[in-house]
Chain A
C-alpha cells in the first residue's frame, strides 16, 4: 500500500462516523480519538531546537505530521505518520521522527491552542508510524533508539508506537509493535470485505506516473469544471462570468496549495487549462456561449436564456465525459520533501 493510500485509510479510521457493522472500522475514533488536523505544522520551541543542535548535531524548526489526532476526553494526542517502509536511525527520516518525539504533548497542546498558555494541564503525546506489513517491528526499534538517545541527553521523549498494515483475503488489519493500543493479540481489523477507501486526499502525481493518479485527477477536474460552469450559466447571462483555473484546482484538490512540487502543479494547471479550453471551444461552436481568455482563466458570456439548456446538454455529452485531460508526464521530484524526510506530508498547508 503506498503512503497516500495509507494516509487516506488512516483518515477514515479517525474521522469517519459510520454504522456499527460497517466494513470500515474506525478504530482510532472508537478508542476516543478525533481527527484534529491533516498536515498541521507544529513549530519546535527555540530551546528545544538549541538542545537538538547541541546534543544531536541537527535541529528542525517544525514538524508536520500526516495526521494529528486528539482524544475526546483525555489529555492525549496521537501523531500519525505514514511510511511504506521503516527506516533506521541513520536515515534522514529519523530527524523527522526526532521532532515528533521531542515536542511534549503539553507543548503541542499549547502551540496548537488546545489549552490556554496558563493552563497547568499536562498532555501526553504518542508518535506513531504507520508502515506496511512486517515493517512495524524494525520501525519500533528505530523509534526506541531515538527515544533512548533523547533521554540519554536529558531531553524529553514522547511515547512511540508503530503499526503495520496487513492484508489477508478481504480483511485489512493493523498490527502494533507494542502492547497497549489494541486489546486482542496486538491487532485489530480495520477493513472487512473491502481493501480500499474513498480517497479524501487525492493522488499526488508527483509520487510518480500512475494510471490511477491520472484518472483520479482527470475525474476530479472534470467534475469541478463541469459542475462550476453548469451551475453558474444563469449568471453569465447578466454579466461575464469569471472562471479562475486556480480556484477550480483548489476545489478539485483540497491539498493543492500543499503540493510542493511546482512542476507537478504546472503540469496539472496546463492540462486543466487545455481541457477547459477544448470544452469551451466546443461550446462556442455549438451553442450561444462565448469566451475570452484572461490571466486567471476565462471570461464566459451566454447570449440568451434559451441557450443554457443546450450548453448543459453539451456539458453532459459523451464527448465531454470522455475528453482526456492532456497532462504532461509527471516528473518525480528530485528533492523529496526535505521538510520531513519523505512520506506524504505534502498535505501541510
Chain B
C-alpha cells in the first residue's frame, strides 16, 4: 500500500500526512473506504541494552533500510510493504502501517509476542489515566474526546483461555468498516468494554463517580488525545495509536512525547528495582541492592477461585499475554512463589503470589517493560483497582514525573 517510490524519510512522512488527511475526511463523511485502513502506529520495546540490530535481525520479515533509523518491512516473497519501522530511542521502535486492522494485527501480534527480542509497550489504566488528567483534561477541557474501558474477569472460571494474540481490536474494525456495533465479548463471565464520548470536562465531572461505583472504569483501554484541529489520536493500552486526525506529523509528535515518558519511567523502574546480590570482596558476604515491585489488591483480596485459576493457568502456557513461564511453588494455602522466566528476552523473574498482593523481583537485565505488561494485564483480567509500588514509590508518580521529562 505504501508506494515503492517513497525512498526517503520526508517523502514518506508527507505521504503519511496526506494519507491521514484523506482518511480523516472520509471519517468525517462516514465514508471510509472498505478496502483501506486508518493509519496506525504500534510502539515496540526491544531490550534495556537497546540492541537494535539484534532485534531487527530477529524479525521474520524482510527489512529494507530507508535511512539509518527507518526501515520498510515486507512479508517474505511480497513486493508491497507491510509498513515502516522507525527507531525512536535506543530501545523503542514505532511501526507505522496503513493496512486494515485485520490484515496486519494478527500477524504483528504473533510476530512480537512470540519473539523474545520484542515486546509491545504496555499502557495500563494507571498510565492512561495520567495522560488523561495531566495532558488531555487541562489542555482540551472543552474538546470532545473518547475514553474506552475494558475489564474481563477471565480467571473467574478455570477454562482454556482465548489467546489475546488472536484477537483483533473490534472497535477499529467497526470504525474502519462503519458496520455498527457488533461486540463479541463472551457472555459466560463478567466482561466490560465501555466507551464514553463527551467533552473532556464533562467526562471528568462524572468519571470519578463511575469509577467508585464500577471498578472497570479504572481500566482504560483507549484514550483519545485530541488533535490540534479536529479529530484525535487514540492511544491503546497495548501501545497502538490509531490516527483519527488529519496529520501524521502531529500524531507522531504525540507518540514521541509518549515514548519519552515511557522510556524515562521504564528506566527509572529498572534503576530502582533491579535486584543485585553483589559479593563484598574485602569482607566476604553479600550486599543486596534494588527494591521489590508490589501490586496491591483491595483489602478483601482477589477471590480465592480467581487467584487459584490465575496461578494454575498462567505459568504453564508459554504463549499467553503475560509472557511468563515457570512452576509455581505452593508454600501454604493461597501462597505461592515462582522462579519464572519472562519470555520477552527470556530473563529470570521472581514472583510471590497471594490473593492480597503480588511481589515481583526483577534480576538485573530483566526488562522493566515486564512490570508495565503485568500491570496492564492484571488491570484487564484480575482487578482494575490494583495499586502498584516500586519499593515504596507509587508507580503512577513515576509516570507522572516521567511525563514531565518526556515533554522536555
* Interfacial residues, chain A to chain B (CB-CB below 8 A): 11, 15-23, 35-42, 64, 68, 111-113, 193-200, 212, 215-216, 219-220, 222-224, 226-227, 230-231, 234, 254-255, 257, 309, 312-313, 316, 318, 321-322, 347-349
18 A-B pairs (CB sep. < 8 Å): A15-B288, A17-B292, A18-B294, A19-B387, A22-B294, A37-B285, A39-B285, A68-B285, A113-B283, A194-B356, A198-B292, A216-B339, A219-B339, A220-B339, A223-B340, A223-B348, A226-B325, A257-B279
B276 to A, closest residue via Cβ: A254
Chain B residues with CB under 8 A of A112: 283
Main secondary structure on chain B at its contact with chain A? strand
List, in ascending order, chain A residues with CB within 8 A of B351's CB: 198
Residue B347 is within 8 A (CB to CB) of chain A in the complex: yes
Q: B357 interface residue, CB < 8 Å from A?
A: yes
Q: Which of B273-290 contact A (CB under 8 A)?
A: 277, 279-280, 282-288
**Which chain A residue has the least Cβ–Cβ distance from B352?**
A198
Q: Chain A's nearest CB lies how many Å from the CB of B23? A: 36
Q: Any chain A CB within 8 A of the CB of B350?
A: yes
Shortest distance from the beta carbon of A249 to any chain B beta carbon, whole Å: 14
Is A197 within 8 A of B352, CB to CB? yes
User: In the complex where A18-B392, A254-B277, A316-B325 touch, is A223 in contact with B284 (Cβ < 8 A)?
Assistant: no
Q: Which residues of A contact B387 (CB under 8 A)?
A: 19
Are B285 and A348 closer than 8 Å at their CB atoms?
yes
Binary CB contact string for chain B from 346 to 371 against chain A (1 if under 8 A, 0 otherwise): 11101110101101010000000000
The stretch among B191-199, B217-225, B255-263, B326-334 that forms the contact with chain A is B326-334
8 A-B pairs closest in CB distance:
A316-B318, A17-B391, A40-B285, A230-B346, A231-B346, A198-B352, A41-B284, A223-B339
B283 touches A216 (CB 8 A): no
B337 partner residues in chain A, CB cutoff 8 A: 198-199
Please give, as numbers and ranges, the residues of chain B lying within 8 Å of A111 by CB-CB distance: 283
- Please pick, from A19, A40, A224, the residue contacting B348 in the complex, using a CB distance under 8 A: A224
Q: Is the CB of B327 within 8 A of A37?
A: no
Cross-chain contact A64 with B339 (CB below 8 angstroms): no
A322: chain B residues within 8 A (beta carbon): 327
A231 touches B345 (CB 8 A): yes
Query: Are the C-beta atoms of A309 and B114 separated by less than 8 Å?
Result: yes
In angstroms, Cα B293 to Cα A16, docked, is 10
A113 CB, min distance to chain B CBs, angstroms: 7
Q: Please pick, from B292, B335, B345, B350, the residue contacting A196 in the complex, using a CB distance under 8 A.
A: B335
A16-B291, A40-B284 provided; 8 other pairs, C-beta below 8 A? A18-B294, A219-B326, A222-B326, A223-B339, A227-B348, A231-B346, A234-B57, A313-B318
Residues of A within 8 A of B389 (CB): 18-19
Q: Which residue of A lies closest to B318 (CB)?
A: A316
* Given A219-B339, A349-B285, A349-B286, residue A193 in contact with residue B292 (CB < 8 A): no
- Are A198 and B327 in contact (CB-based, < 8 A)? no
The reply to whether B339 and A200 contact each other, CB–CB distance below 8 Å, is no
A200 — which chain B residues lie within 8 A by C-beta? 277, 288, 361
In the assembly, what is the distance between CA of A26 and CA of B114, in Å?
39
A226 to chain B, nearest CB (A): 6
Beta-carbon contact of B288 and A11 below 8 Å: yes
Interface size for chain B: under 10, 10 to 19, 20 to 34, or 35 or more residues? Answer: 35 or more
Q: Find chain B residues with CB under 8 A from A19 CB.
A: 294, 296, 387, 389, 392
A111 vs chain B, min Cβ distance (A): 8
Q: Is the CB of A347 within 8 A of B354?
A: no
Question: B residues within 8 A CB of A193?
Answer: 354, 356
Please pick, from A195, A199, A254, the residue contacting B286 in the complex, using a CB distance under 8 A. Answer: A254
Q: When the two chains form their complex, are residues A35 and B288 in contact, meaning their CB atoms are under 8 A apart?
A: yes
- Residue in chain A with minimal CB distance to B335: A196
Cα A255 to Cα B286 with chains together (Å): 8
A222 touches B327 (CB 8 A): yes
List the B residue with the shortest CB-CB distance to A41: B284
Collect the chain B residues with CB atoms within 8 Å of residue A197's CB: 352
B283/A42 in contact, CB under 8 A = yes
- Quick one: closest A residue to B342, CB to CB? A227
Residue of chain B at shortest CB distance from A321? B327
Of all chain A residues, which has the CB nearest B283?
A: A40
Contact assessment for A321 and B285 in the assembled complex, using a CB-CB cutoff below 8 Å: no
A residues within 8 A CB of B208? none
Residues of the A chain whose Cβ atoms lie less than 8 Å from the Cβ of B350? 198
Interchain CB contact (< 8 A) of A312 among B116, B277, B286, B335: B116
Which chain A positions have C-beta within 8 A of B354? 23, 193-194
Q: How many Å lie between the Cα of A217 and that of B351 in the bound state?
A: 15
Partner of A223, one of B54, B332, B341: B341
B285→A219 contact, CB < 8 A: no
- Inter-chain CA distance A257–B339, complex, in Å, is 20
Q: Which of these, A11, A220, A349, contacts B279 with CB under 8 Å?
A: A349
Instruction: State whether A227 touches B286 (Cβ < 8 A).
Output: no
Complexed CA–CA distance, A347 and B58 (Å): 41
Given contacts A18-B294, A112-B283, contact A227 B288 (CB under 8 A): no
Is B375 part of the binding interface, using a Cβ–Cβ cutoff of 8 Å?
no
Query: How many whole Å from B329's CB to the nearest CB in chain A?
Result: 5
Tell whether A39 pairs with B392 under 8 Å between CB atoms, given A197-B352, A219-B329: no
Contacts of A316 in B (CB 8 A): 318, 325, 343
Tell me if B332 and A196 are in contact (CB < 8 A).
yes
B138 at the binding interface (Cβ < 8 Å) = no
Q: Is the beta-carbon distance between A41 and B288 smaller than 8 angstroms?
A: no
Q: Which residue of A lies closest to B287 (CB)?
A: A37
